[in-house]
Structure 1
Amino acid sequence: MESFQEQRRKRFIMITAALPCAKPDNAGGRYVKWVSEAASKSDDVFIIAPDGPAAQRALKSGGVPRYQLLGRSAGRMASSWDRALTRLLSMVAPSLPPWRFVISLLRDRQVLEAIRHADVIDLQWEEYGALIPMLRRFNPEALVVCTFHDVLSQRYGRASQGATSHVARMRWAWAASTARRLERSIVRAADKVVLLSQKDADLLPAGTAEVRVVTPPLAAGMEHVDRSTPVLGEILFVGFLARWENEEGLLWFLADVWPRIKAAAPEARFRIAGLGVRSTTVEAARLSDVELLGFVDDLEPFYERASVVVVPVRLGAGVKFKVVDALMAGVPLVTTTVGAEGIGDPSWFTGMHDDAQAFADAVLHILQEQGKADHRSAEVREKALRVYGWEQFTDALCHVYGPLLLEGISKQKGSL
């Protein structure tokens, strides 16, 4: 039987799209940070991730565990063959990890040696679950866990339904089909599969893998948000705008919802926080006379000021961390049915609407009845804190990775 010290030194390999770092700039980065910090207290953690702009931002943030970056894109210096292959693979195999990353992994002796001796191989994001058969050949004994940050078949299926052209609709339908095949493969090949809501767990086909739901500890850092003096008329959006579903939802809000709010409440002010803003959003924000804040290191002051948070996402899948963050902060929230799914129940939301006029009316009602809305949101906050707290998270991680991880959880303040 292994001694306690031997158990504490198990080799934990995390293969992830995002490097865990001190100040993640997106929701997935926050989750991998929590898991890697927990694991690092009891195991030797080694992170394997694709190189690129996101990885370089993480390195600048600091706090990255031992890591190896693989498969950096050639960028503008890439050959026409390289660019053509990348485009082709993105169309025919959209649910796979970057091809440069996979090739580099197979060529890197240090990485392969680490995989061969790993006790746990932790795959973050569904795309990286495609590597399981290959990883099994290198190490058939390791515990293999795959975490679905969202379910790609649902994400791509919704994109197909919302596409405005036949070509785009067919492309996304093909992507959804390939994702469903990948999901069937993962639930047969992995030892354990992790999802962030029961709604997502119910989307997966039956398989041999043990399925676990882990509620992220989004209450961390929100315990001290002071909602005593919100600024009347201040509306806040928070989101990583490099994700097309966040951008699409924001553009819909600016085009169809914001003018209705502004017409009824000229004093209203709209502020947008988040990294990854593209030129289309910059121009839409300029025309709508709203404020782009960019990446915000500490969102607490903005949640304290906001009269209402809006999450107008209409596409995508998975748990929307920005929705839970607003609930944790006790801010009145208006979102869509997509934004609310997998989170609490409908009574948690001050407004939940997919129609532009109904969405605008819900925001205006909050601005007119701020005191009542704040009181209701404070009650919802207490319910949400019990669901998304650290105790639930650590208990779930214990069942996924082992009881020693319980020692590794230390409370920390989350940011966007």
Structure 2
Amino acid sequence: MALQISATNPEHPALLLELPWHLPLEEWPEHHLVPLPRGISRHVVRYARAGDEVVAVKELAERPALREYELLRDLDRIGIPAVDALGVVTGRLDEGGEPLESVLITRHLGGSMPYRSMFETTMRPATMHRLMDALAVLLVRLHLAGFAWGDCSLSNTLFRRDAGAYAAYLVDAETGDLHARLSSGQREYDLDLARVNISGELLDLEASGALHPSVDPIDFGNEICSRYHRLWEELTRRSVYPAGKYHYIERRIRRLNDLGFDVAEMQIEHADNGDTVTFVPKVVDAGHHQRQLLRLTGLDTEENQARRLLNDLESWMATQDDYAPGDPLGARPEVLAHRWVREVFRPTVRAVPLELRGSMDPAEIYHQLLEHRWYMSERAQHDIGLDTAVKDYIDNVLPTTPTPPPPRPDNDTTE
């Protein structure tokens, strides 16, 4: 039986041949290995250098290795956050000619850490909530794609923060199954396995003294499930919004915000009986909205203002005929964002007389107008439109609003 390397990239076999496949993974020399944190595993797993890349190498039997390799490639094709499968090595023999187990090779996800390692450090409550949210998003995305994980755990999940976004990535797909669609029973079984595994690992960390006292293992596992259920309901229920009910869409965005999620993408399908809206959620770090709004529009705002304006921008873009996410022929988000600034944001702000603005900057004015439209639409039970909201805000709100004092000069040191 000859050594065989099946790889996704023609360049990888040559690089991988440099690794000592004739040795059991536990005996690999240190100069081949990279000391990176890893979770617990039923198999031997090591990080190694292959040319300029760092790869994760997992030793297991040939059949499950090939199966997991194909599953990871399937997940990549449908856009699920998971590690990249690079190859499988079979036909390994030791120096005495005895067979060794096959190995699965995946690309190390740069800047990532196993969830288990995150809980071995002192963690702020806000960070812990974002970790829960990111894991709930991953589980929902897997289930929406028809993938039953079968072994979700802190060790089998990687956490990475990239450009402000919090994301969880699947590492181990060995026990997974991909279906056309999961039943409610399949989803609940998978979720219950995740709850037991996650709480079990946290109890293990607690017993070793590595878990922060503020983290309750049982509560954390249950909270993951609660967040999953709330997000699943909010994302999967199909709502058709009649014409003139724009504020219903905004209400749903607000519920997602209350759950700790932002809208990464929104798609609106037009039909005779109304508009069907689909949301894709994401979890973000502090300051993300400021950076995102500045990048798209050039508007430099406070974080809460930016979040509100981005929601409005996303809603507006989804109504444009040339908005086609993923379509190279569609308008780019930056193009649409600048059109929104030119056609929506600036005319709306300019409609408010200078003498009534006080010390409010343009972003705050627009934020206040969006809030006013929201409340008026809720009372009227239909979208009253931005023009009507602006007029009512000028006539009935601004004249009764106390004008705040102007900002102090930069050189004013008065306490």
TM-score for the superposition, normalised by structure 1: 0.27
Return the index of the structure with the highest Cα Rg: 2
Greater fraction helix: 1
Of the two structures, which has the highest relative contact order with CA contacts closer than 8 Å and spacing of 6 or more? 1
TM-score normalised by structure 2 residue count:
0.27
